[in-house]
Structures are given as C-alpha cells and as structure tokens.
Chain A
Amino acid sequence: MASYESYKKINAEGIEDGAIEAADFSTALNATYGVKWFYGSPGATTSGCCCLWTVPTGVRNLYIEVWGAGGNGNGFCSCNRCHHYRGAQGGAYHSKQITVTEGWQYTVCAAGVYRCCSRECTACEGCSSYVNGCNLSNFCAKGGDRGYANTSWNTLCHSVNGCCKGPTDQGSDFAMVTHAPGWGGAEFVYDRGFCHCYNQSLYASGAARIGTLAQMSLRECWTRCGCWSVPYGNGGQSAMTTYCGRCCGQGGTGGGGLVKITYF
C-alpha cells in the first residue's frame, strides 16, 4: 500500500528560481570531485601500476590523462669505430573526458619499465599506459622511442617527430608527443684514427606536458653507463664512450608511465 512518503513529492516548480545555494547541498554533491594518480615505483625496474578502479559514488564525469613510459637508453655496441648517440624519447600524452556512472569499473595501467636491450645499439621502446572500460576505445599513450648508438656520422642529426601521432589518435580528445632527440655531436680526432671522439653531449627528452630533461655528456671516458632512474615519462640515458670497444656499457631505463584521473 502506498505510504505518505511515496506519493508526497515536492514539485520542483515549487522551488523559487535561484533559491538553492551551494551551502544547501549535501556533502556528497560537490564533494564528488577528486583526483587519483596511478604510478609505479620511480626505480629502474618496475611493473608500473595496473589495477581495477571503481567510479566513486555520485561521480558523472572523468577526465583521464595518461603518459607512456620513456624509451630506454642504448648501450654502446661497436668495436672498431666511435659512436655517436641519439637520446631516448619521452612518453606520449593522451587525454579524454567521458561520462560515467558510479560503480563502473576501469582497468588502469601506468606503464612499467624494465631492462631491455640495454647493451645493444638500439634500445627498447617504452611501454604504453592505458585505461580500458565503458566509453573508451583503444585509449592509451604510447611509450617513447628508443635511444640509438650509431657509427654512421652522416645520420640525421636534428631532433625529429619520431612518431606520427595525431591529436585525436587512440580515441583521445587531445594527444601529443615530444621530439625524439637529435644525434649528439663529438670532437672527432682524425689523426688518431676512428677511436677517439671526445666531448660527446646529448639529451633524452621528457614526456609531453611534463617537460623534464635528462642530459648526457662525456669528455673522455672509456665507459659511462646511463643513470638508472630518470623522471616519470622521461627517456632513459644512453651508455657512452669516447673510444671504441664494447665493455659493460649499459643504457638506463626510461621513466615509468603515469595515469591521472580527475573525476566529478
């Protein structure tokens, strides 16, 4: 049987226009706003952070931002000629705003990093970060391009747009990438043969919209490995030498990926 409460409804037309102020709302209304970050360890080897995230009570909108992991730095790999190097690229950035309903679940993965081809001329690309769930399709941020060591001094030297990604790729509202760094120069000493190339310098780029930077420089040194850790999303450091030879020079891993969800 119908109770008084079930049929005694207030018609919204009975509420004066402009009568409801912010202080009249319950805590749950405009307190649904929040920001959630997903990230792995900032160390050199990490699985990142993958989990199932549930949309909180009362939330209707998500603004998702993802950054891929930075590419790994190269090793040095030739025994008979000096190298020059190209730094690794920072991870891509993608964002999207979607409508949701409380209780929906999303698979969220902030990319990890691991040692991969760390002694090779061509290192590994960074891993992608991604979010899966309702109203999303193939939504991810690609990892950065790898670092390179090369004995061909005629290779393109300027930084390049290493990955042709459009602003709306991967189902994004907006996406962008930074350049893959250029090839570093060196002081090549001809009268000492092909194994003396001093004063090397280059950098590994940061992820778009984070804007960090890792630099590498060598005056004269047999072997210098890349630093094991760089900022989140940044390209990893290269191993470098100013001589010929292949001995234990390992590139560093890129910075892990990030996911940031702003909800309301």
Chain B
Amino acid sequence: MAQYSNYKKVSGASLPADSVTAAQLGTSGLDTWNVKWFYGSPNACTPGCCCLWTVPSGVRRMTIEMWGAGGSGHGACSCNRCQVYRGAQGGYYNTKTIDVSAGWTYTVCAGGVYRCCERDCVGCTGCASYVNGCNLSGNFCAHGGCGGLACGNWSLNCHSTNECCRAPGDNNGDFMMGNHRGGFWNPKGVFCHCHGRYASPTAAPFIGTNVMQGLNFCWIRCGCWTVPYGHGGQGAFTDQCGRCCGQGGMGGSGLVKITYV
C-alpha cells in the first residue's frame, strides 16, 4: 500500500526562485568539481599509467585533455660521414567534453616510454595516450610524437615540418593539434669534422617545455635519459664519424587530465 512518503514529492515548481541557498547543500551538493591527473614515472623507462577510473558521485560532465608521449631521440649511426640531426617531436594534444553519469568507468592510459631504436638513425614514435568509455569513440587518443632523425644526406630539407597531417577534429576530439617536428640544424664542416652542432626536440602543445642540444667538439654524447612530459627525446650527437655507444634518449611520457563537475 502506498505510503504518504511515497507520493508526497516536492516538485521544482514548488520552490520559489532563488530560495535554495548554499546552506541547504550537502557535502557533495555543487562541490563535485575536481581535476584528476594521470601520469607515469618521469623516468626514461615507464609503462605510463593505465587504470580504470570511475566517475564520482554526482558528476555529470567532464573534459578530457591528453598528451601523447614524445618521440624518441635518434642514435649516432653513421661511420663514414658526419650527420645532420633532427629533433624528435612532442606528443599531440587532444581534448573532448562529454556527458557522464556517476559510476560509469573509463579506461585511462597515459602513454609510457621505453628504450627503442636508441642506437638507430631513426628514433621511435612515441606512444599514444587514450581514454575509452561511454560517449567516447574507440579511437579517441592523442598520438605520440615522431622520433628524431640522424642523416648523412646534407641536402635534406632543413626547416622543421608539420610531420603528421592531423586535423583539429581527428580521433573524435573536440580539438586536436600537434607541434612541428624539429628541424635539421646544420653544423660547420663536412664529412668527419662537423663542429658546432645544435638540435631542438619540440614540446607538446599546451605544455610548452624547452629542450636544447649543442655540441662543439666531442666524439660522442648520448641524449639525456629524461625530458619533460610529452617532450621529444634528445638524440645522440657526435661531431666526428663513427658509431660508438651513441644512444638517443627517450621522449617524455604522456599525460591525461580529467576535469569533472
């Protein structure tokens, strides 16, 4: 049998406008706003951070921002000619705002980094960061940046370039963009004596970090093992010929930021 409490409901129309004040709100009232970051270790080798995340109670909307991992730096790979070096690219940025309900779960992965082709002329592309779940398409992700490049062909294009033709709405985001891959910064000299080397791996958009490499006179210098999150990794440098232990560094691992309310 129906009880009084079952049918005695207060409709919104019964409340005078502007009558409910903050005093009537409970601890979760309109206090659902929050920001959650997902990231792996800032070290040279990390699986990143993959987990299942549950939408907290009362939350109705969230904005996902993510950055792919930076590309790896190149190695020093040629024995008969000086090389020109091109900095690795920072990870891509992608974002989307969606409706959610409390209790929904999302698979969140901030891309990791690992040693890959670190002695080769071409560094590896960084890993993607992604989020899967309701109201998101299966390929919603932020791509990793392109790897660095060492090359003995001095006539190659020198300026930095827009490496991947990705449109702002690609991968089902509201807005996506990437940075240029680094340019070839040419040294003085040719063949086996090419001093005064420079290169710049690039940052991920909306992070805006800075990494520089320079070498005046040195047989071999490996790339630093770590760079900031999302940044392209450092390459190995030499201003002579030869291939000796020159290892490129890893890119910065990916990030995911969820703002929810």
Q: A10-B15, A12-B24, A230-B180 are in contact. Are A214 and B61 (CB under 8 A)?
A: no
Question: Roughly how many angstroms separate A134 CA and B108 CA in the complex, as a whole number?
Answer: 39
Chain A residues bordering chain B, tally (CB within 8 A): 57
Q: Which positions 97-132 of chain B face chain A at CB distance < 8 Å?
A: 97, 99, 102
Residue B36 at the A interface, CB < 8 A? no
Residue B182 at the A interface, CB < 8 A? yes
Verify B10–A33 contact, CB threshold 8 A: no
Query: What chain A residues lie within 8 Å of B261 (beta carbons)?
Result: 30, 33, 264
Query: What chain B residues lie within 8 Å of A198 (beta carbons)?
Result: 188
Instruction: Please tell me which one of the listed residues B16, B21, B200, B206 contacts residue A213 in the complex, with CB atoms under 8 A apart.
Output: B200
Interface string of B19-37 (1 = CB under 8 A from A): 1110111111111100000
> Of B43-51, B155-163, B235-243, which binds chain A?
B155-163
Chain B residues bordering chain A, tally (CB within 8 A): 64
Instruction: Please tell me which one of the listed residues A30, A35, A214, A232 contacts residue B30 in the complex, with CB atoms under 8 A apart.
Output: A30
Query: What chain A residues lie within 8 Å of B154 (beta carbons)?
Result: 219
Residue A34 at the B interface, CB < 8 A? yes
Q: A17-B23, A212-B202 are in contact. Are A217 and B185 (CB under 8 A)?
A: yes
Verify A31–B60 contact, CB threshold 8 A: yes
Verify A9–B16 contact, CB threshold 8 A: yes
Q: A27-B60, A209-B206 are in contact. Are A199 and B162 (CB under 8 A)?
A: no
Question: Roughly how many angstroms separate A203 CA and B203 CA in the complex, as a whole number?
Answer: 14
Verify B205–A211 contact, CB threshold 8 A: yes
User: Closest residue to B102 on the A side, CB-wise?
Assistant: A23
Question: Roughly how many angstroms separate A198 CA and B190 CA in the complex, as a whole number?
Answer: 13
Seed contacts A12-B21, A211-B203; 15 additional CB < 8 Å A-B pairs: A10-B19, A11-B16, A18-B26, A22-B32, A22-B59, A31-B61, A33-B97, A33-B261, A42-B177, A212-B180, A216-B159, A217-B159, A224-B157, A224-B159, A264-B261
5 nearest A-B residue pairs (beta carbon): A211-B208, A22-B58, A219-B186, A215-B183, A12-B19
Q: Could you list some 21 contacts between A and B, CB below 8 A?
A: A9-B16, A15-B24, A17-B24, A20-B20, A21-B25, A26-B12, A30-B261, A31-B60, A33-B60, A33-B261, A37-B95, A37-B174, A206-B208, A209-B206, A211-B206, A212-B203, A213-B200, A214-B160, A216-B159, A227-B180, A231-B205
